[in-house]
A and B are shown apart, each in its own frame.
Chain A
């Protein structure tokens, strides 16, 4: 459908919905955890006929007809449901404090999850902290990105990867928000984990299909991560100590007179520095990371709250070393260092203005900085020289957003808001120096290349309305209008539409979405696994990249309600994609992007995803996914404009997750993952004889072959013991990749010269069977 038509339809529907405003009775309030006063997100509040969920602040409002007795029920996975009978004759405020469900069975979880899934937006998924805790992931880490990679429609690039490809999309088409603030380059080096500390994540909403209009700026997916607020009733300590890294957090009430809390959490990867210290080996490879999360919040009054959160994380990798130049024998030495740091500061104010309106205001700062140093030294006899390169790049945002969540009649929820992002991009600075010495004679030179800072301002207005049009039909309509201002100005509209239709026990879901991306990652061809990208702004030469996504699916219980089954199909179109040219092989891409980029690329991706969930005997929970995906790209300047498979097209993907609750203390878990191999460019022939030129390999298409599949089995167990009322101890252990499949973390071409030149592909395998053990301590102070 043409953009204008979609916009017209949306405006008509919006007008219709807004006309529903009228006099009715409203019940509103907060839903919180009784134990620690944490707000509960996505708790379901329902009457016989009406239904709503709490927002990211635990707030709900429900519109009802007056003069009828009602039963109001609140429920959420992990908590005991509560019901109260009301005979309201005017607006009421009801706050719920929910107790943790001590004896919650898998059947209860299963039923509640199905209810939630049925009402979720197409392609949306909610990840609870318990989901992360139960999954048996790499090194026992509760890593959200690795968890997402187990879901349908989501794959990783390669082993140990801390980034995902969603529905045939690129790695930098996914936006992550931490407490409402966008973040960049979210993987730690070596792909060991993401920068999000899973132990303090309260909840995450992942959108790969229909995306509410308050989110924008990426082409494939959005993940909004909310961290814990901390216990406002009493102090507690949580520790998670592993073989190679550990994290610890402390939380408790901040002020006595106000309802308030603070949580401080830190995580460090220390095994390599520790080993180096013990071994006393000079110049060994060194790698570490650490991060820190601090979040404080305070309720100003019954209606309003303020939150302040801060995140800082840093990675450091060093390989090689310098040796002192020798005058006797030839020596070579090289050193490479890489530092990546992320910082996020977020201030959030929320206010239940009246029974029907909830205001949220965000102000934030985010920064991502990368530094690379490499030096090469050489000495022979009286000659010594040293070449050094220093490269740095940074992106910084100042972020502001206000949104007003308004309850209309008939429980339509209308969210309106404005978002402003001031991006400052320092795409690159490269300093090169050269020092040569022969005896006492020195030669020295240096050079500096600087790409001037770029500024991009994005101002977006958004509006989203959600509600039931009839008993069987629900719609979620959104419009996002963005102006991107750099050295040129772009105005883009993003209409978004989702329709739900219920028939018997089947819910059909359809959606159409349009997205634009105004920041472009500059990544060299095969180097896309780096957790850093140098970002470039949309400008007069580089138009905003766009994607259109159509999806259709259904969710239905099958086999006498024993299996929750869903299936989705999608088709995605890309426009104005950019890609590094083949000739861009080094830092020049970052300094002369106009020269080394292919513009106006097109792409398409399509696929089918299916998920089945079941429980067996109230002991075993099974979650199975299968995804079939095709994804292609096309650039006029690449291989005569022929369409080629996208590097991260993985055609068949299977995920199987099982959790076995053996007893109150023991639970076992297992993952099996199968992904078709990623794509790679393989030559068809070798031209050995030529009068004109040097010999060469002949490629007929980019990414023309599929590499061997990726698969692994993870096994894990958790032993948990409540020592006394204040002290809980758990041991989490298992094996990642239990049968030692050699899944390479990086692949590269290799040319054999013996017996006739031919081409092969080699890979570096970092992890085979990877055992882990983590000790978890929870102590109420």
Chain B
């Protein structure tokens, strides 16, 4: 019995004494810090501009930069240029025209201009009707774009977004025939005062889907990482439009 016990202990030592979690030291981690560009035009409240440094993935550090200018192009023609060097002061004082194609150029000191892919501005959209029945809200709106995808943002009474836009909110029906009107039903889980129906431009939808895909696989442990979409040919970011329709609904106060 003693022999068996000794052999077992040796075996146990062999198998378990070495179980250890280590951090792998990488010789050349590919960390970069560069500008992230997020320029979106909302049909309800205009331009939201965010040009901010990303952090290096290996150590969390970032490098600041100066903006030389940002330029909005209508077709190939520059219609507005802003040369404020600070991000929080950068603005685009130009109202896009429905049916026109726009692109954005961003110039950072020391690098070439980052230019976005062109995007069609479709203007605002309209919710035709909303039905409220206890915890359920049903939306109905006219679908003007057979390939279009929509999303509904739920906003609380303080005006904060309860949900940042995520994939589950995207309403699309691209695999089947798109009806002339779309209906979406929401289950409410909290007090809500108003909703916004959003119609992002195609690149914005692709971007949102890719971020959603990234999050659904990132923590999985077995999936390969997902690439987040960018519509800047050099540089990284998203430029586009979100057509909106807002409805205030008093549900439970």
Contact of A243 with B24 in the complex, beta carbons under 8 Å: no
The contact of A698 among B11, B54, B204, by CB within 8 Å, is B54
Q: Mark B29-43, 1 if CB is under 8 A from A, else 0.
A: 111111010101000
Q: Is the CB of A693 within 8 A of B211?
A: yes
CB of B224 within 8 A of CB of A585, answer: no
**B164-A694 in contact (CB<8A):** yes
User: Would A765 and B54 count as touching, CB distance under 8 A?
Assistant: no
Q: What residues of chain A lie closer than 8 Å to B20, measured between beta carbons?
A: 742, 764-765, 768
* B11 with A582: CB separation less than 8 A: no
Measured between alpha carbons, how far is A243 from B238 in the docked complex, in Å? 60
Name which residue of chain A comes closest to B6, CB basis. Answer: A243
CA A728 to CA B198, docked complex, whole Å: 83
Chain B residues contacting A759 (CB-CB under 8 Å) are 57-58
B159 at the binding interface (Cβ < 8 Å) = no
Assess the B223–A524 pair: CB atoms within 8 A. yes
Nearest residue, chain B, Cβ from A746: B221
With both beta carbons as reference points, the residue of chain B lying nearest to A759 in the complex is identified as: B57
For A243, the chain B residues whose CB sits under 8 A away are 7, 10-11, 14
- Candidates B52, B57, B220; contact of A689 at CB < 8 Å: B52
What residues of chain A lie closer than 8 Å to B223, measured between beta carbons? 524-526, 580, 582-585
**Contact status A275-B11, CB under 8 Å:** yes
Task: Output the residue of B22, B208, B238 with the most chain A CB within 10 A.
Answer: B22
In whole angstroms, how far apart are the Cα atoms of A756 and B33 in the complex? 13
Q: A580–B214 Cα gap in the complex (Å)? A: 15
A247 vs chain B, min Cβ distance (A)? 16
Complex CA gap A684/B24 in Å reads: 17
- Asked whether A691 and B48 contact (CB < 8 A) given A683-B225, A686-B54, A762-B21, the answer is yes
Assess whether A764 is in contact with B19, with CB atoms less than 8 Å apart: yes
Closest to B226 in A: A582
Q: How far is the CB of A2 from chain B (nearest CB, A)?
A: 35
Say yes or no: B18 contacts A765, CB within 8 Å.
yes
Does the CB pair B225–A702 fall under 8 Å? Answer: yes
Stretch touching chain B among A74-82, A300-308, A704-712 = A704-712
Bound-complex Cα distance A766 to B7 (A)? 19
A774–B226 Cα distance when bound, in Å, is: 48
Chain B residues with Cβ below 8 Å from A684 are: 30-32, 57
Interface presence of B126 (CB below 8 A): no
Task: Chain B residues near A763: list those with CB within 8 A.
Answer: 21-24
CA distance A768 to B20 in the complex (A): 10
CB of A689 within 8 A of CB of B50, answer yes
Whether, in the assembled complex, A780 has its beta carbon less than 8 Å from a beta carbon of chain B, the answer is no
B165 interface residue (CB < 8 Å to A)? yes
What separation, in Å, do the CA atoms of A687 and B60 have in the docked complex?
10
Complex Cα distance, B208 from A277, in Å, reads: 54
Interface of chain A residues 480 through 525 with chain B (CB within 8 A): 524-525
Q: A582-B224, A685-B33, A763-B22 are in contact. Are A691 and B40 (CB under 8 A)?
A: yes
Note all chain B residues with C-beta closer than 8 A to A742.
Answer: 20, 22
The total of interchain contacts (Cβ-Cβ below 8 angstroms) comes to 209
CB-based contact A756/B7 at 8 Å? no
Is A727 in contact with chain B by the CB < 8 A criterion? no
The stretch among A94-102, A400-408, A566-574, A747-755 that forms the contact with chain B is A747-755
Set of chain A residues within 8 Å of B227, measured between Cβ atoms: 638-640, 699-700
In the complex, how many residues of chain A place their beta carbon closer than 8 angstroms to a beta carbon of chain B? 69
A771 at the interface (CB under 8 A from B): yes
Write the nearest CB–CB distance from B172 to chain A, whole angstroms. Answer: 16
Q: Indicate which residue in B30, B34, B208 contacts A682 across the interface (CB closer than 8 Å).
A: B30
- Which of A687, A742, A764 has the most C-beta atoms of chain B within 10 angstroms of its own C-beta? A687
**CB of B55 within 8 Å of the partner chain:** yes
Q: Does B59 belong to the interface (CB within 8 Å)?
A: yes
Contacts of B24 in A (CB 8 A): 707-708, 744, 747, 760-763
Cα-based distance from A640 to B56 in the complex (angstroms): 23
Question: When the two chains form their complex, are residues B211 and A770 in contact, meaning their CB atoms are under 8 A apart?
Answer: no
Q: Is the CB of B21 within 8 A of A525?
A: no
Q: Do residues B217 and A757 form an inter-chain contact, with CB atoms below 8 A?
A: no
Is there an interface contact between A694 and B211, defined as CB atoms closer than 8 Å? yes
A752 contact set on B, CB distance < 8 A: 60
B216–A762 contact, CB under 8 A?
no
Indicate if B184 sits at the interface (CB-CB under 8 A): no
A616 at the interface (CB under 8 A from B): no
The residue in chain B whose Cβ has the minimal distance to the Cβ of A699 is: B225
Q: Which residues of A310-367 have CB atoms within 8 Å of chain B's CB atoms?
A: none
Does A274 belong to the interface (CB within 8 Å)? yes
- What separation, in Å, do the CA atoms of A771 and B164 have in the docked complex? 55
Cβ-neighbour of A765 out of B19, B32, B218, B224 (below 8 A): B19
CA distance A707 to B12 in the complex (A): 29
Chain A nearest Cβ from B74, distance in angstroms: 23
User: Residue A527 at the B interface, CB < 8 A?
Assistant: yes
B225 touches A685 (CB 8 A): no
Residue of A639, A700, A762 touching B23 (CB-CB under 8 A): A762
Q: Contacts A244-B14, A275-B11 hold; do A691 and B218 have CB atoms under 8 A apart?
A: no
Known: A692-B208, A698-B236. A756 touches B55 (CB 8 A): yes
Which of these, A271, A704, A756, A768, contacts B12 with CB under 8 Å? A271
- Residue A688 interfacial (CB < 8 Å): yes
Interface size class on chain B is 35 or more
Report the Cα distance A196→B69, complex, angstroms: 67
Q: Is A758 an interface residue (CB 8 A)?
A: yes
Q: Beta-carbon contacts of B201-231 to A below 8 Å, as 1s and 0s? A: 0001001100101111110111111111000
Q: Which of B8, B10, B21, B228 contacts A696 (CB 8 A)?
A: B228
Question: In this complex, what residue of B is CB-closest to A685?
Answer: B54
Closest to B42 in A: A691
Instruction: Decide: A683 and B15 in contact? CB cutoff 8 A.
Output: no
Closest to B48 in A: A691
Smallest beta-carbon distance B160→chain A, Å: 12
- Cβ-defined partner of B29 (8 Å) among A682, A747, A755, A765: A682
With A683-B57, A686-B60, A691-B48: A582-B225 Cβ-Cβ less than 8 Å = yes
Contact A690 B50 (CB under 8 A): yes
Given A526-B223, A692-B208, A708-B26: A771 and B14 interface contact (C-beta under 8 Å): yes
Asked if A690 meets B226 with Cβ closer than 8 Å, knowing A271-B15, A585-B217, A761-B24, the reply is no
Q: Are A758 and B215 in contact (CB under 8 A)?
A: no
Chain A residues lying within 8 Å of B164, measured Cβ to Cβ, are: 692-694
Contact A681/B22 with A275-B11, A694-B164, A705-B30 known, Cβ cut-off 8 Å: no
Check if A685 sits within 8 Å of B32, measured CB to CB.
Answer: yes
The answer to whether A692 and B22 have CB atoms under 8 Å apart is: no
Give the contacting residue for A275; candidates B8, B18, B211; CB below 8 A. Answer: B8
A635 CA to B207 CA, complexed, in Å = 20
> Contacts A243-B11, A274-B4, A526-B221 given: A705-B228 contact, CB under 8 Å?
no
Asked whether, in the complex, the Cβ of A687 is within 8 Å of the Cβ of B58, the reply is no
Residue of B nearest to A764 (CB): B21
- Measured CB to CB, the nearest residue on chain A to B52 is A689
Bound-state CA distance A597–B124 (Å) is 38
Chain A contacts for B28, CB-based, 8 A: 705
* CB neighbours of B187 from chain A (8 A): none
Q: Which residues of A contact B8 (CB under 8 A)?
A: 271, 274-275, 278
CA distance A585 to B220 in the complex (A): 7
B25 part of interface (Cβ distance < 8 Å): yes
Q: Given the complex, which residues of A lie within 8 Å of B215, measured CB to CB?
A: 694, 696
In chain B, what residue has the closest Cβ to A192? Answer: B15
A272 within 8 Å of B (CB atoms):
yes
Among B5, B7, B216, find the residue whose CB has the most chain A CB atoms closer than 10 A. B7
Q: What 19 additional pairs, Cβ within 8 angstroms, besides A275-B11, A684-B30, A687-B36?
A: A243-B14, A244-B15, A585-B217, A685-B31, A685-B32, A691-B50, A693-B166, A698-B54, A702-B225, A704-B30, A744-B22, A756-B55, A756-B61, A763-B23, A765-B19, A765-B21, A766-B15, A766-B19, A767-B18
Report, nearest first, the 9 A-B pairs whose CB atoms are least far apart. A756-B60, A271-B11, A758-B60, A685-B54, A525-B224, A683-B57, A527-B222, A686-B55, A768-B18
13 CB < 8 A contacts A-B:
A243-B14, A274-B4, A583-B226, A639-B227, A682-B29, A685-B31, A685-B56, A687-B228, A688-B54, A689-B52, A692-B208, A766-B19, A771-B10
